[in-house]
Amino acid sequence: MEMFNTQAILKLFIKHAKLVISVCFVAAVISFGASFLLKEKYKSVAVVYPVNVGQNSEESSTEQLIQYLLSEDVKTKLAVDFKLYQHYGIDTTKIKGGKALFNYVYAENFKISPTQYESIEVEVKDADPQFTQQLNWALITNTNNFMKENKTKIIKQYLSNTQTVLVSQNNQLDSLNTVIKKFKADNNIQDKPEDKNDENIKYKKEKNNDIKILSGKIKATLKSYENTKIKNDTYLMDAYSHNDYITIVSKPNLPDKRCYPVRWVIVLTSTLSALLLTLIFLLFKNRNSLQN
């Protein structure tokens, strides 16, 4: 394999130092000027925390909230309310793959990330500082409302189930009470102290045992009814409460300094790229003289 002479390469770079410096300078100037043609963006940041969110399996409440913040329903409502398709200049009816393009642009401008303290940082970028702050507020509010709708829908299903069970248990209690009353009437059993001189005392004791069995069933059903009633009242309170599922740790700020473009990064990247390309060009052009 042919090898290059390191000393010859160094001499080559020194020989063309003016060219290298000139190319880098021109690249820096052009990239700096071009950075002013890029659309400036501002970033509004908020920090939120999940509340009143029950844990599902191994998924934490923070992970659940992130899923809601990134949900398609929240994104769609935001796009409709703020006319984001027009705002981003994307016509999904005319552009093939317009939906995918919108999702890409949306992901570039909306960033949801967990913090080390189990809270969530919400970042929104746009060219208009006030519009950026409004988008951030709307994203949080829409997510909270969407969670309310989903949670309320589920809780009302639980509420409907417990109410059905309560009706059934109430009917069982009424039925058992009716059976006991009829049983007492048919067997001439009265709620009074036992008469030891009663000739049918043995017979009545047997019947009283049957009544005790029925009474035991009533107590068991009544206990179950009480437990179901507690659950029902909890679901009833939650279903018609005004609980929030997001608490705001840090409100969406109104940005006063652009976050994009970062001109020094653009200039540095362009200059280094120009330097690399120039060096490659010199090595390629003088490859024969550099080989041993």
Q: Per residue in 266-277, pLDDT tens?
A: 778 888 888 888
Asked if 232 and 162 touch (Cβ cutoff 8 Å), the reply is yes
The per-residue pLDDT for 209 is 67
Please state the rounded mean pLDDT for residues 229-245: 84
Asked if 27 and 270 touch (Cβ cutoff 8 Å), the reply is yes
Residue 50's alpha-carbon distances to 53, 108, 123, 223, in angstroms, are: 6, 24, 17, 36
What is the pLDDT confidence band of residue 279, given thresholds at 50, 70 and 90?
Answer: confident
Is it the case that residue 203 has pLDDT exceeding 60?
no
The per-residue pLDDT for 173 is 82
d(CA 26, CA 31) in angstroms, rounded, equals 8
d(CA 82, CA 86) in angstroms, rounded, equals 9
The per-residue pLDDT for 35 is 63
What is the pLDDT confidence band of residue 206, given thresholds at 50, 70 and 90?
Answer: low
| Residue 155 phi, psi dihedral angles, 5° rounding | -65, -35
User: Which two tokens mark 116?
Assistant: 């080390």
| Residue 121 phi, psi dihedral angles, 5° rounding | -95, 125
Is it the case that residue 1 has pLDDT exceeding 50?
no
d(CA 276, CA 250) in angstroms, rounded, equals 44
d(CA 103, CA 85) in angstroms, rounded, equals 10
Please state the rounded mean pLDDT for residues 188-202: 52
Please state the rounded mean pLDDT for residues 131-153: 92
The per-residue pLDDT for 204 is 53
